[in-house]
Amino acid sequence: MKLSKSNHKQFAEVLNMIRLARYNAVKSVNAEQIMLYWRVGEYIHDKIKKAEWGEGVVDALAEYIQINYPEFKGFTRRALYRMRQFYEIYHRNRIVSPLVTQLSWSNNLVILSRAKTPEEREFYIRLCIKEGYSRRDLERQIDSGYYERAMLSKKKLMPLLAQQHPQAVDVFKDSYILDFLSLPKAHSEKDLQRGIVANLKDFILEFGRDFTFAGQEYRIQVGNHDYFIDLLFFHRALRCLVMVELKIDDFKPEYLGKLNFYLEALDRDVRKPDENPSVGIILCKSKDDEVVEYALSRNMSPALIAEYKTKLIPKKTLEKKLHEYALLAKGEQ
């Protein structure tokens, strides 16, 4: 049977209904599973708190389930203690506790075991919900110190960028980890650009999934001259173009002149009427924060200077830096 264009469109609508129903069914099953673990954890917590159970009773419960109901998998001694810990950590937090059902149990366990503070746990829970991370993606972000880098970035975000794009504080970071590129120590800007495009999925994971790739060496014409932007993206939530200029050396103030020129060209000739002003990022190998502050203090374009690292920054180094900023902020109050 030959199908018309109308048939194809109608059939596609039915398929979308099926996909949506299956997705909602999976979400519903996951939420029920998390709530079951919550209730089991609450039950164990209450019994131990009231001194009706000792720790050995939990071991006996796990053994009882495994022997008599082997079809009920996932209720080992360790798992039951995790359920108890899960309930004890979140039950007093009325903001976070409703959110945990939106994560898989494996992601909840990663956050429980790896995040050290209530603030860090809430950060990763919200990030998982927003970005739809798999366990592997989540572990990678924790290993890269995503939380610490995001908190440090909020303290350094330029006022003009935050003013024009209030959500930018939750989008951009001061440093990006590009360890997946496997670049040699001595690499060119072309090597960096090619590596990013070849590993675009991992790059988007690091930058954020609301970024949509628009092109590399994106051509803009001003007068009789052609110019090429290293990388161009569109950010769905900010509703703006985001250009990235790549530099393999330390940030230099003169880089801003070129960035501002490109932003003006994008806003005049490429940006659509319903889109917000374009944002520019200079992604360099390293930067001096004081030089960046001076360079951006009178800059009138929404720009950000960030650095990239080809290896993971030790998490303790990031934690120490974040602690130093917190102490500094307290001293300024």
Q: What's the domain count of the chain?
A: 2
CA angle 164/141/169 to nearest 5° reads: 15
* Residue 79: partners with Cβ closer than 8 Å, 6 or more residues away: 62
Does 149 fall in a domain? no
Is the pLDDT reported for residue 67 higher than 80? yes
Could you tell me if 138 and 174 lie in one domain?
Answer: no
Could you tell me if 171 and 316 lie in one domain?
Answer: yes
Structure tokens at 31: 């939420």
Could you tell me if 171 and 212 lie in one domain?
Answer: yes
Per-residue pLDDT tens digits for 97-145: 999 999 999 999 999 999 989 999 999 999 999 888 999 999 999 999 9
Does 25 fall in a domain? yes
How would you classify residue 167: left for phi > 0, otherwise alpha for psi between -120 and 50, otherwise beta? alpha
Confidence tier at 155 by pLDDT (50, 70, 90): low
Average pLDDT value over all residues in the chain:
89
Structure tokens at 199: 């590993």
Structural domain boundaries, residue 11:
5-143
For residue 216, list its beta bridge partners.
231
Q: What is the largest CA-CA distance in the chain?
A: 84
Higher-pLDDT residue of 58 and 324 is 58
Does 148 fall in a domain? no
Per-residue pLDDT tens digits for 6-37: 777 777 888 888 888 887 787 788 899 999 99
Residue 332, SS3? helix
Confidence tier at 151 by pLDDT (50, 70, 90): confident
Sequence length of the chain is 333
Does 131 fall in a domain? yes
Structure tokens at 78: 């360790």
Between CA 28 and CA 159 the distance in angstroms is: 42
Could you tell me if 73 and 183 lie in one domain?
Answer: no
Instruction: Tell the residue number behind the tokens 């050396």, with chain if given.
Output: 249
Check: pTM over 0.85? Answer yes or no.
no
